[in-house]
Chain A
Amino acid sequence: MRDVSKSGKAEWLVTMPSFLWLAVFFAVPAVIVLAFTFHGHTANGGVGDWSLSTWRELVDPDYPTIVWKTIRISVEVTFWCILLSLPCAYAIARLPKRWRALVAGAMMLPFWTSFVVRVFAWKTLLHPNGWLQACYLTWLRVCDWAFDWLPAFLQKFLVWAGLASAGHVDPAMSTILDSEAAVVLVSVYSFLPFAIMPLYTAAEKFDFSLLEAARDLGAKNFYAFRRIFMPGVRQGIVSAVLMVFIPAIGSYVIPQMLGGTECVLIGNKIFMRAMQNRNIPHASALATLMAVSVLVPMGVAMWWKHRQEMRDRRRLDVRTAQLMTGGEGQ
Chain B
Amino acid sequence: MKDDFLVFDHVTKRFGALTAVDDVSLTIAKGEFFSLLGPSGCGKTTLLRMLGGFERPDSGRIYLEGQDITDLPPDQRRVHTVFQNYALFPTMTIWDNIAFSLKLSKRPKPEIEERVDEILEMIQMSEHAWKYPNQLSGGQKQRVAIARALVDRPQVLLLDEPLAALDLKLRQHMLIELDAIHDQVGITFMYVTHDQGEAMSLSDRIAVVNKGKVEQLDVPAKIYEAPASRFVASFIGDTNFFSGEIASVEGDYCTIQTEGFPAIKAYNDKNLSAGQRVDLSVRPEKIRVTLNPPPPEKGASINVFPSRVQDIVYQGVYTKYWIKAGDLRVAALKPHSRFLLDEEKITWNDDVFVWWHPDDGYMVEAK
Contact = CB atoms under 8 A, between A and B. Distances in A.
Contacts of B124: none
Please classify the interface of chain A as helix (H, G, I), strand (E, B), loop, or mixed, using the class held by over half of its residues.
loop
Contacts of B54: 1
A330 interface: yes
Interface in A1-23: 1, 3-4
6 contacts: A1-B54, A3-B56, A4-B73, A329-B39, A330-B39, A330-B40
A1 to B, nearest CB: 6
Interface string B52-70: 0010100000000000000
Contacts of B40: 330
Contacts of B73: 4
B307 to A, nearest CB: 27
A4 B40 CA distance: 25
The 3 closest A-B pairs by CB, nearest first: A330-B39, A1-B54, A4-B73
B61 to A, nearest CB: 18
B103 to A, nearest CB: 22
Contacts of B56: 3
Interface residues on A, range: under 10
A3 B53 CA distance: 12
Nearest to A330: B39
A6 to B, nearest CB: 9
A330 B56 CA distance: 27
A138 to B, nearest CB: 59
Interface string A307-330: 000000000000000000000011
Nearest to A1: B54
B53 to A, nearest CB: 9
| Chain B CB within 10 A, most for which of A3, A4, A329, A330 | A330
Contacts of B39: 329-330
Nearest to B54: A1
A1 B40 CA distance: 21
A3 B50 CA distance: 13
A259 B274 CA distance: 101
Contacts of A330: 39-40
Contacts of A329: 39
Nearest to B55: A3
A329 B211 CA distance: 11
Nearest to B49: A1
A151 to B, nearest CB: 68
Nearest to B56: A3
A267 to B, nearest CB: 45
Interface in B28-61: 39-40, 54, 56
B66 to A, nearest CB: 25
A167 B128 CA distance: 81
Interface string B69-86: 000010000000000000
A3 B14 CA distance: 13
A4 B56 CA distance: 9
